[in-house]
Structure 1
Amino acid sequence: MKIEDLLSEKYIVLHLEMSTKSQVIDKMLSIVADHPGVRDHEKLRQDVLKREKEMSTGIGKQIALPHAKTDAVSDPVLALATLKTEINFESIDNEPVQLIFLLATPEEMLAEHLKLLSRITRMAGREDVRDRLMQVTSRQDVLDLFKEEEKDFPQI
């Protein structure tokens, strides 16, 4: 499963103007509200927030990856947003974030969930990819970037 297979223009928002972690998570959830894989939006919200309470999903290198394994989705759901200005996300490296991925997968897809988290982390963790994501001017540019980057990336 590739990022480019899960992400579409509809679930990408560029240069969001948000100032708090809770605003960002709420916005990310609203972006996927009408995703065909979302069965129960309120349950998805609860599960993402529950996971966030356990430990911040600010994974470092200016990236936040709120996520959940949940029966609120029937298929993997992925959204991406860039922020106009950095915000505090209580990241593990204590640095603010500017790049947000939201990932939700069905509970029975644990292996795929972990592989997708790893794939996003490894790819977006590269400084050149992050820089390019922050400079894109269209949602199609984001999709093109992942398509290009995943050409040589092993399929999961």
Structure 2
Amino acid sequence: MKIESLLSAGYIALNLELETKSQVIDAMLSIVAGHPGVKDAARLRTDVLRREQEMSTGIGKNIALPHAKTPAVTQPVLALATLKRDLNFDAIDNEPVRIVFMLATPETMLAEHLKLLGRITRLAGRSDFRDRLIAEVSPDGVLALFREEEKDFPQI
């Protein structure tokens, strides 16, 4: 399972104009609400917010990764957004966020969940990749970027 195989243009939003962490999470939840893998959007919201309360998912290097293992989804669900402006997300490195991934996986897919989190942080942790992602102007361009970057990665 590669990131580009989980993403599609409908789950990518670019240059969002948001001002707060809660607005970002709400926007990401709205993006995935119609995903065929989401069977309970209210439960997904609860589980993502619960995880965020445990510890911020601002993982550093201008990236936030709200996520949950939850019975609210039947398959891995992934969305991506870039933000027009830097936003405080209570990140572990105290740096603002510009790139947001939201990942939800079924509770039974713990290994896949961890591997996907790892792959996202590995790719997005590279400054050249982040710069190219933030500069992208179309969802198709984002998908092409992931396809190119993951071409030599093994399936998860």
- Settle same-fold status: TM greater than 0.5: yes
Corresponding position of 2:35 = 35
Q: Distance in 1 between matches of 2:93 and 2:101?
A: 17
Q: What is the CA RMSD across the aligned residues, in angstroms?
A: 0.4
Corresponding position of 1:98 = 98
Q: Distance in 1 between matches of 2:64 and 2:16?
A: 14
The aligned runs of 1:1-156 (5 Å cut-off) are: 1-156=1-156
Q: Distance in 1 between matches of 2:59 and 2:86?
A: 14
Q: Distance in 2 between matches of 1:99 and 1:13?
A: 10
**Percent of aligned pairs with the same amino acid:** 72
Displacement of 1:154: 2.3
Question: Could you list the runs of 4 or more consecutive aligned residues of structure 1 that deviate by over 2 angstroms after TM superposition?
Answer: none
**Counterpart AA for 1:21:** K
- Per-residue CA deviations over 1:46-104 (Å, capped at 9, x if unaligned) read 00000000000000000000000000000000000000001000000000000000000
Q: Distance in 2 between matches of 1:5 and 1:137?
A: 20
**Counterpart AA for 1:23:** Q
**Counterpart AA for 1:123:** L
Secondary structure of the structure 2 residue equivalent to 1:107: coil
**Counterpart AA for 1:152:** D
**Counterpart AA for 2:117:** L
Q: Distance in 2 between matches of 1:58 and 1:106?
A: 22
**Counterpart AA for 1:151:** K
Displacement of 1:152: 1.3
Q: Distance in 1 between matches of 2:80 and 2:61?
A: 16
Secondary structure of the structure 1 residue equivalent to 2:109: helix
Q: Distance in 2 between matches of 1:74 and 1:147?
A: 24
